[in-house]
Chains A and B, each alone.
Chain A
Amino acid sequence: MLPLSLGPVLSAALSAPPELEEAARALGRSPVQAYLRVTLPLMLPGIVSGALLVLLTVIKELPATLMLRPTGFDTLATRLWTYTGNESYAAAAPFAALLVLVAAVPAWMMISRLLKEVR
Chain B
Amino acid sequence: MTTPALTTSPAGAPIDAARQTAVLGAGAERPGLQVVGASVGFGRGTPVLQGVDLEVAPGSTTAIVGPSGSGKTSLLRVIAGFLRPATGTVSLRGQEVTQVPAHRRSIGLVAQDGALFPHLDVAGNIAFGLPKGIRRGEARRRVEELLDLVSLDRSHARRRPDQLSGGQRQRVALARALARRPEVILLDEPFSALDAGLREITRQAVREILASTGTTTVLVTHDQDEALSFADQVAVLRDGRLAQTGTPEEIYRRPRDARTARFLGEAVLLPARLRSPGVASTVLGDVSVVRSEPEESAEDRSWRTADASATVMLRPEQIVLADEGVRAEVLTSQYFGHDTTAVVSVDGLEEPIRVRRLNADPLPPGAVVRLAVAGPGVAYPESEPQH
Q: Chain A residues in contact with chain B, CB under 8 A?
A: 15, 19-20, 22-31, 34, 37-38, 41-42
Contact = CB atoms under 8 A, between A and B. Distances in A.
Interface stretch (B86-94, B100-108, B207-215, B365-373): B100-108
A19 B115 contact: yes
A54 to B, nearest CB: 24
Given A25-B102, A31-B103, A42-B119, A19 B128 contact: no
A23 B119 contact: no
Given A23-B117, A24-B128, A42-B118, A30 B103 contact: yes
B122 to A, nearest CB: 15
Contact of B128 (A15, A27, A31, A42): A27
B119 A26 contact: no
B117 A26 contact: no
A59 B116 CA distance: 39
Contact of A27 (B82, B101, B113, B177): B177
B109 interface: yes
A22 B83 CA distance: 11
26 contacts: A15-B118, A22-B82, A22-B109, A23-B111, A23-B117, A24-B117, A25-B101, A25-B102, A26-B80, A26-B102, A27-B128, A27-B129, A27-B176, A27-B180, A28-B104, A28-B129, A28-B180, A29-B103, A30-B103, A31-B101, A34-B103, A38-B119, A41-B119, A42-B117, A42-B118, A42-B119
Contacts of A24: 117, 128
Interface in B172-210: 176-177, 179-180
Contacts of A34: 103
Best-surrounded residue of A24, A26, A28, A31 (most CB of chain B within 10 A) = A26
A38 B117 contact: yes
B103 A25 contact: yes
A117 to B, nearest CB: 12
A20 B103 contact: no
B118 A26 contact: no
B326 to A, nearest CB: 54
Contact of A20 (B82, B108, B115, B179): B115
Nearest to B186: A26
A22 B176 contact: no
Contacts of A29: 103
A25 B119 CA distance: 17
A22 B111 CA distance: 10
A31 B177 CA distance: 18
A41 B80 CA distance: 25
Contacts of B176: 27
A55 B106 CA distance: 45
Given A19-B115, A20-B117, A26 B177 contact: yes
Contacts of A42: 117-119
Given A22-B109, A23-B117, A38-B117, 6 more contacts: A19-B111, A22-B115, A23-B115, A24-B128, A27-B128, A42-B119
B127 to A, nearest CB: 10
Nearest to B106: A28
A23 B109 contact: yes
A14 to B, nearest CB: 12
B128 A26 contact: no
B15 to A, nearest CB: 16
A39 to B, nearest CB: 10
A53 B27 CA distance: 60
Contacts of A28: 103-104, 106, 129, 180
A28 B106 CA distance: 7
Contacts of A37: 128
Contacts of B106: 28
A1 to B, nearest CB: 27
Contacts of B109: 22-23, 26
Contacts of B129: 27-28
A20 B116 CA distance: 7
Contacts of B117: 20, 23-24, 38, 42
